[in-house]
Structure 1
Amino acid sequence: MKRILVTGANGQLGSELNLLSKKHSEYEWIFADRTKITLDDLDLLETQLKEIQPNIIFNCGAYTAVDKAESEKELAFRINCLAVKIIARYAVNNNINLIHISTDYVFDGNTSIALSEDAETNPINVYGASKRAGEIACLEENPNSIIIRTSWVYSKFGNNFVKTMQKLMQEKEEISVVNDQIGSPTYAVDLANVLIDILESKKWIPGIFNYSNEGEISWYEFALLIKELGMYKCNVKPIPTSAYQTQAKRPKFSLLSKERIKAIYNINIPDYKESLKKCLNS
C-alpha cells in the first residue's frame, strides 16, 4: 500500500484532503502538522521524512501570511524555499512522486490575459518571492516534481476570504471590497480532488500546472456573490486597491490559464459559482 504524506495538514487544502482520504483507503495517509513535519526546522526535516518513509508527498504546507511576510522574510524563505529544497531532494533520492503547491502571487499582475505556466514571473511581495524561489528550488533539485499554482483558495476550514465576508456581512451594515484585483477563486475541495485525479491517472507529467475554478472576477464581484447566496443584507461597496492599504502589494491581475492541466490530465474544472454554492451548503 502506497503511503501519502500530506504536509500542512491543518491548512485548508490539507484539511480537505483529510476528509477526502476517507474515500481513498487504497492509500495509507499520513497527515503531518507542524509537530510531525517542521518546515521551519531544516535540520530536523530530513530526519522526519526518513521516519515517515512516504511513497508520495503532497507538499501543502507553506508560510502564507502575506502581509506578515514583509517583516518575516527569513522565515518565509526558510519554509517556502529551503524546506521545499530539502523535500524535493529527498523525493528524488528516494524515487518519490512529489506534488508541490504554489501560488498566483509569483506574478506581478501587469497583464490582462490569462497567465500560462510559461508566463514571466515577477513577484511584487516577499511571500510571492519566497514561493517563486521554492518553485525554482523544487524543479532544480527534482525535475520530476509536479508544481500546481493556484489562487484565492477558500474552504470551510482555516482563514479565507469567504469566511471573512460571511462574518463581516453578519456583523456590519456596510463593507468595502477592492474591485480592481482580478483573478479566480479556488475551492480547496476541487483542488484536493485534482491531486487525487493526477495520482489515479497513472500518468506522471512533471512541471508546472495552473489550477483554479473557471471564471474571471474581482474580489468585489466575489463578495457580491457571497452576499447573494448567503442572503445577507449588508451593503457591499467597491473601492480601488489604493484605498485599501496593506503591507504587501497584491498583483492586480492573476487569472490563471488552465488549458495545460485540462489537456494533459483531462480535468473538468467547475465554475466558481457552482463551487461557492457547494462550499456554502457544506
Structure 2
Amino acid sequence: MAFTHRRPPLAVSLPLICVAFISFLAGPASAQGKTGQVTVFWGRHRDEGSLREACDSGLYSMVIMSFLDVYGSGTYNLDLSGHSLAGMGDAIKRCQFLGVPVSISIGGFGGAYSLPTNQSALALFDHLWNTYFGGSLNDTRRPFGDAWLDGVDMFLEHGTPTERYDTLALELAKHNIRAGDGKLLHLTATPHCRFPDTRIKEALDTGIFERIHVRFYDDPDCAAGFSTKEWAKWTAAYPFTKIYVGLPASPQAAKSGYTDPATLRRAVLPVAQKATNYGGVMVWDRYFDKRSNYSGSIKNWV
C-alpha cells in the first residue's frame, strides 16, 4: 500500500507546531554551561573513514551526512563523495544504538538546488520522507534499506529569501510531532555567521528548529573565527533553539575562521556558554577532525 498523508493549510498548522516545539525545547532560564554536545559533518571525503567508525569513536553526539545536493526540479541526488552505500543502513542503526542520531543535510556547495515554490518544497518533503524516513511508497528506492535517519539539516550556500524552505520545515515538523514510536525528527540548520542569513531566515523564523549550527568560518564577517557580536544576535533571535558554535577542525578545513583548542577554551566557550540556549560545538568535518583530533581535544570543555 502506498504511503499517504494529508497536509493541513500552513496558516492552521503553524501555531500548533510552534507551541509544540516551544514546549519541547524550552528549558530553565539559566546559563547553559557545558553540554558535551559535538556535532560533525560526515560524507565529504571518501578517505575520512566509515560512518560506523565515526560513531564508534565516542566523540560525537550527532553525525550529519552531507549532502543531498540536487533538488527542486524533480531530480534528486545524494553525494557522499564515493562512500559505498552497501551496509550503510546497518551503520546508521549502529550509530542510533549508540545514541548518536544521524541526519541528512540538504544543499551544500553545488548550484543544482532550489525551492522556488511551495509545490517544489512539498515534493522535496515527499522525497525525503519516503527515501530516508518513515514513508513507504512502493516505487521509492531506499538507499539505506529499512533504516530511518533521524533528522534533516539545511546547509544553504545560495538561494533567495523567497525560496520556500519554511514550507519544507513546517511539513517536516508536522511529522516530528506525530512521528510515532517515540521517534523524533531533528530539524537543524547550518547558516553563515552573519545575522541574519537571508537564505534561510524565513524558515528559521518559524521558530521550529531544534538546533542552529552557526558557521564561524569561511565568512568575511567572521574571518577571525568566533564573533561575540554575531553570537549574541543568533542566541537572542532564537531563544527556544539550541545554538551551536560551528568551527573548522583544522586550518586546512576552511579558508578562514580556525580557532585553536586553547583559544576556544580560554576565549570562546566561556562567552558562548553564558547563553541559556547554548547547545555545543559543530565541527567541520570528519575528515579533518580525524587527522587533527580537534573534537578529542575540546570535548571535555564543550
What TM-score, normalized by structure 2, do the two folds share? 0.31
